[in-house]
Structure 1
Amino acid sequence: MLRRIFTLSRDFKSPKDSLGDLGAKSAAKLIAAATDVAVVVDGQGVIRDVAFNKEDLSLELDAHGRWLGSKFSEVVTPETRFKVDELLQDAASRKLSPWRQVNHPSPSGEDIPVLYSAVDIGRKDRFVVLGRDLRSLAAMQRRLISAQQSMERDYARLRHAETRYRLLFQVSSEGVMIVDATTYQISEANPASLALFDESAPRILKSSLLDHADRENALNISHLLADVRATGRDRSGRFRIAKNGRDCTLSASLFRQENASLFLLRFSSEQPIVENSSLIATSTLMRHFEEAPDGMAITQNDGRVLRANRAFLDMTQMSSEEQARGEPLDRWIGRAGVDLSIAFANLRQGSPVKLFATVLHGEYGGLTEIEMSAVSLQDGGDKPNFGFTIRNIDTRLSVSGSGERELPRSIAELTKLIGRVPLRDLVRETTDVIEKLSIEAALELTGNNRASAADMLGLSRQSLYVKLRRFGLAEHASDDEGDDE
């Protein structure tokens, strides 16, 4: 209904009375004056006539009169040709098509946008396509985009500058504070100043600087800061901290930010600062992590490496921690991710993993037998991280047995191979264990008579002799073979 009302409201109510019998010339003048470009097109899309209301637009689009006799779709850019077809189809079916933007190529190399609408003028096989020049709008859009890009570059520079300031502020060995010049309220304090004042951030922020000064020294500090605020010149003085009695040098500078005056205060002390016990413990733990002889790694909940120590990098044959960071741990540990899938499932349920035997693959093909322990590390986030300790047990294995791995002598020994040997090899070794135990039992029952043992096992004597040699049970087989036969 709304569409019908809108359609009626844009047409003349009594065109015959108001315009009379409008001739072709008058209609042409009216169309040319009302639009920037008007094109008369036949049913095949061929341009039969064209009129421009702007001389510069005429020079850009049809300077050599090439439009006449050409198809309308040939004088637009390839990606907008389908819009020309839609214009003519809509005009033929609905007498008036919606406005569509079409781009024309120009000799300058920059496309010219024009907004077109096609009208069926009532004459068979003729349409008038009315166009509005959008170059000014396109130029405005380009300026807007350029301004936005410029603003984004400025914001990026500001963010980078703030990041550098924050980094310098945090790692500086000199105590630094930002203090309100009117109320002396501390708004920012770096770690070095917290250590100097022997305070925590929640206790010192939003408090008055004078509250942390010795009572005898507070008045002098107040006068010093008032002088800096009045003159704008940097000044230095002695500052005695009330809590620990430490003397330090205070340097004050004034600056303005967002219509507010602030002090930049720098504190330096020749007295050594005793580290907090928790900081010492954290530092010691980090040194242990880095220098431990066993490989250590911390992963995210999805198994991607966050931190790795030097021993882990040596075991995986990598030169730097950056190579490991962000990579899945099962890239190096386990067989096809099966081992670590079991470990991660236990960790996500809150159960630690202890002395899990598996293998570690190096970047250059090295294979190491390892023993892995892991624990869930909950640090207050939605999902916990996981800590892994990885120990090389190749030397332990080489001491306990010969270089060539022997068959397990019992089912208990066989179960220890789970996780270290593929299932295919495990099944083969299970079969060998059963065969060996059966042959040993048959020989014991027959008093080491191989012919009777072969009959008992349902084997030919030749097959039994082959298996005896295979399992290392045929020390005197050459002497007995002749007797049995």
Structure 2
Amino acid sequence: MQVFKSPKDSLGDLAAQSVANLIAAATDLAVVVDGQGSICDVAFNKDELSLELDAQGRWMGSKLADIVTPDTRAKVNELLQDAALRKSSNWRQVNHPSPRGDDIPVLYSAINIGRDDRFLVVGRDLRPLAAMQQQLINAQQSMERDYIRLRHAETRYRLLFKVSSEAVMIVDAGNNSVLDANPAALALFDQSAPRLLKSGFANHFDATSTQTIGALLADVRATGRDNSAGVRLATTRRQCSLAVSLFRQENASLFLARLVPGASESGSATLKATATLLSYFEAAPDGLVITESDGRIIRANPAFLDMAQLSSPEQARGELLDRWLGRAGVDFSVALANVRQSGSIKLFTTMVRGEYGATAGVEVSAVLLSDGDDKPGIGFAIRNVEKRLSAASASTRELPRSIAQLTELIGRVPLRDLVRETTDVIEKLSIEAALELTGDNRASAAEMLGLSRQSLYVKLRRFGIDDHASDDQAEDE
């Protein structure tokens, strides 16, 4: 500490009031403490600080150690002990509890004034400094978060740049030199990184492509729009497609150059075959559906959408096929089990239920699709057989349904409906035979069949052979 060299000449004999005013003006707060640490007098330079710390005048008569937070009481004792030994103490930060909840930090120093063993404790309010420190901490944390985001973005960029199967290079737009290249680009040019980096970009292409590359880079640099051109490598003479984009980084313009080798003849043939298969899938008149192993639809063609009365593929995608195929899920479960067991099924007879209630008889063929995955898919071919004509038309006197025809209904029609239909067929044939034997005499036919005439008339109308039932009934009566 440096004090005045001649205080009596420079300051003179100051009165107590002048000294009090000087102390109050020079500090934020000042406390006079006796030898036992009790407060004898208090002065505040800020009204706001006075109201917050000593609004009720509770400091007068209290011990200085009692009006600070418990964790800083030891600092108060050290403050007064240093002042007693050395006339003045070092500055120490002490916290006062505040009614608002937050502690108020104050930087204190004690001075032994040499009168009745009293000490003058002067303090500086550290809240503005604490606020600045908090702002600095917030700014540092914000910058650290930005740095972390940048590091993460750079890591993702480097990883994508490294694992990309497409040859990618970063080229300086000023001198057209290669600044960076991924492993795919090094493999395409068959060169090591030291030889490729910092070299001229156009030097790695044949002479016929050099002018094309120069014009391409100049156009992208001038317009800022992406552009592409066909080029040929200098070493392998391989034809490639070069796509160039312009971007800025750290006040420098850079090119992002992407090279895609030309497809081979076998690759072109494969792509053409794939396109043909996709075209057939979409245009096939039969319903074609590809599902997961559990029957959940991956893709369906327009023919199946028409059968299921759906307007878009999105309505079917992700749904179970048994929502539309099979009777109450029974048929579909059987078909699915057979496909998993044998690998395929052929001409499985069932029905399709439309979204709005329409039904149609169909034949289903399915095959297990495996491409090495643990869960292969299943391909379904669904053909509408509702309008299929029989090979030979049946006569009016033979059974309308043969055993083979009834067998085809198994799985499509419940057993009770199948039995009811068979009973109706036999009943109708028996009535027609009785009418033929009796010369269309309904009374004799009823007696032959063991029916009342009224029951016979009801059955005639039911089977559609009651054209003259009303007249004959009137005559019989």
TM-score normalised according to structure 2 size? 0.54
Query: How far off is 1:14 after superposition?
Result: 3.2
Q: Say which of 94, 108, 112 aligns to 2:104.
A: 112
The 1-side partners of 2:21 and 2:181 are apart by 76
In the other structure, the counterpart of 2:191 is 199
Residue of structure 1 equivalent to 2:114: 122
Give CA-to-partner distance per residue, 1:80-132, whole Å, 9 cap, x none: 21111111111111111111121112122222111111111111231110111
Indicate the SS of the match to 1:96.
coil
Which one-letter code corresponds to 1:192 in the other structure? Answer: A
For residues 178 and 63 of structure 1, what CA distance do their matches in structure 2 show? 69
Q: In the TM superposition, what are the counterparts of 1:221-260 in structure 2 within 5 Å?
A: 221-260=213-252
- Aligned to 1:261, the other structure's residue is in SS state strand
Aligned counterpart in structure 2 of residue 152 of structure 1, from 126, 144, 147: 144
Q: 1:59: which partner in 2? A: 51
Larger radius of gyration: 2
Alignment partner of 2:8 out of 3, 13, 16: 16
Q: Given residue 243 of structure 1, which amino acid in structure 2 is its aligned partner?
A: T
What is aligned with 2:166? 174
**Partner AA of 1:39 in structure 2:** V
Q: Counterpart amino acid of 1:36?
A: D
How far is the alpha carbon of 1:210 from its aligned partner? 0.9
Distance in 1 (CA, whole Å) between partners of 2:239 and 2:7 is: 96
Give 1:189's match in structure 2, choosing from 181, 190, 197: 181
Q: Aligned partner of 2:45: which letter?
A: N
Structure 1 position 68 matched with structure 2 position 65: no
Displacement of 1:48 in angstroms is 1.4
TM-superposition CA deviations, 1:305-351 (whole Å, max 9, x none): xxxxxxxxxxxxxxxxxxxxxxxxxxxxxxxxxxxxxxxxxxxxxxx
- For 1:369-408, list aligned pairs within 5 A: none
Residues 139-168 of structure 1: CA deviation (Å, up to 9, x unaligned): 111111110010000000000000001111
Tell me the distance in 1 between the aligned counterparts of 2:24 and 2:160.
67
Instruction: Give the aligned residue type for 2:256.
Output: L
Residue 39 of structure 1: which of 26, 31, 35 is its match? 31
Task: State the Cα deviation string for residues 203-255 of structure 1 (Å, max 9, x = none).
Answer: 21111111111111111111111111111111010121010111111100011
Equivalent residue for 2:22? Answer: 30
For the Cα contact (< 8 Å) 1:45–1:71, is it kept in 2? yes
CA distance in 1, matches of 2:209, 2:9: 98
| Cα distance in 2 for residues equivalent to 1:256 and 1:222 | 20
The residue identity in structure 2 corresponding to 1:267 is L
- Report the Cα distance in structure 1 between the residues aligned to 2:103 and 2:49, rounded to whole angstroms: 12
Distance in 2, matches of 1:19 and 1:175, equals 83
Distance 1:175 1:100 in 2: 64
Partner of 1:138: helix, strand, or coil?
helix
Uncovered stretches (5+) of structure 1, i.e. residues with no partner: 1-6, 273-485
Deviates more, 1:180-189 or 1:193-202: 193-202
What is the CA distance between 1:271 and its match in structure 2? 4.3
Q: Distance in 2 between matches of 1:198 and 1:247?
A: 15
Any idea what the Cα deviations from partners look like across 1:32-91, whole Å, max 9, x if unmatched? 121110001111111111110101111121112221121111111222211111111111
Alignment match, 1:103: 95
| 2:208 aligned residue | 216
Q: Which residue of 2 aligns with 1:83?
A: 75
Matches of 1:201 and 1:271, distance apart in 2: 26
AA at the equivalent of 1:201: A
2:123 to 131, 134, 137: 131
CA RMSD of aligned residues (A): 1.4
> Secondary structure in 1 aligned to 2:25?
helix
Partner in structure 1 of residue 254 of structure 2: 262
Count of residues in Structure 1 that have an aligned counterpart in Structure 2: 264
Q: 1:17 to 1:206 in 2, by over 3 A?
A: closer
TM (norm. structure 1) is 0.53
Please show how residues 310-349 of structure 1 align to structure 2 within 5 Å.
Answer: none
C-alpha contact 1:198 1:244 (8 A) present in aligned 2: no
| Aligned-partner SS, 1:50 | strand
- Partner SS, residue 145 of structure 2: helix
Which structure 2 segments of 5+ residues have no match?
265-477
